[in-house]
Structure 1
Amino acid sequence: MAFNIRVYGILINDKQEVLLSDERRVGKEFTKFPGGGLELGEGIKDCLIREFDEELNLKIEVGELLYLTDFYQKSAFNEDDQIISIYYFVNTIEPQSIKTNSLPFDFEKDAIEAHRWKSLKNIVKEDLTFPIDQKVVEMLKRGGNEVYANRF
């Protein structure tokens, strides 16, 4: 068994919408928060900065830690891996520059990734595919505006 460390960013715009990532990999479609896997020799925050740059061509500021996985979760892609996910609030001065779609899985030709905003008021855990992301949605719903106001 190996540990697979994943780092994700919770980006909330001024309309109180959170950014989601719809992806297609190894024959599966799924929705998650933007972010990805920690590489050997990389710091956790550096990983998140790199992932946002690679996936969204977006410079971010990493804010407050929101959540670190506190339960066992087997990888959906490799049954020998245990997933450890880390979630930070992130901020950018240019959220309007993110190319987004309004519909889930609205991929451009040959694309494997698309992004969209989802209202925090209307998001439900079932909007995300993986159990850890679903727990984070519940935390965001429970947290209310005071959580978002104190994230930096």
Structure 2
Amino acid sequence: MSKKFFNLRVYGLLINEANEVLISDEQEYGFKFTKFPGGGLEYGEGLIEGLKREFVEECNTEVEVISHFYTTDFFVKSAFNDSQIISVYYLVKAVSELRFTTKIEVFDFDGEGDVLQSFRWVKLSDLTVDAFTFPTDQYVADLLLKTI
């Protein structure tokens, strides 16, 4: 019997003054996916601390949490292993200059390697659930569209 475990993830919904939300296109070991910026919590971190670390690591940008937006309330199995994903989403705002490059095309990566990432701003009016790969991001996108 294989050992099952929980995988705690934390994500930020960063919306700019042009009413666009930041999304992340990624590729890991040949698997391409689109999600909101963020990632896994490290042992010993709180949710907000982990989210702030993820934005610095991925976007070279410091953020402040505005409010909690959503926590997973349905079963989601990881696409990468046998873990159950629990995701927490926060509305965030940048508190430092935005120091990352954004792209227009999906999966427009610079360079090569096993792990690649690029960011895009998407107008909330153009955002669709189908733009996202994973069920929780899809649910959050739908919820975001219903609340704006």
In 2, the alpha carbon distance for the partners of 1:88 and 1:29 equals 24
TM-score (norm 1): 0.91
Partner deviation per Cα, 1:100-120 (whole Å, 9 max, x = no partner): 001110000126000010010
In structure 2, stretches of 5+ residues that fail to align are: none
The runs of 4+ residues in structure 1 deviating greater than 4 Å are none
The answer as to 2:24 corresponding to 1:21 is yes
In the TM superposition, residue 4 of structure 1 has moved relative to its aligned partner by 0.2
Give the match's secondary structure for 1:140. helix
1:21–1:32 contact (8 Å) kept in structure 2: yes
1:139 corresponds to? 143
Percent identity reads 48
2:122 corresponds to? 118
1:87 corresponds to? 89
> For the aligned residues, what is the CA RMSD?
1.1
Partner deviation per Cα, 1:105-144 (whole Å, 9 max, x = no partner): 0000126000010010011000010000000000011002
In 2, the alpha carbon distance for the partners of 1:51 and 1:141 equals 24
2:36 corresponds to? 33
In 1, the alpha carbon distance for the partners of 2:25 and 2:40 equals 16
In structure 1, stretches of 5+ residues that fail to align are: 145-152
Q: Tell me the matched-pair count.
A: 143
TM-score (norm 2): 0.93
In 2, the alpha carbon distance for the partners of 1:41 and 1:97 equals 27
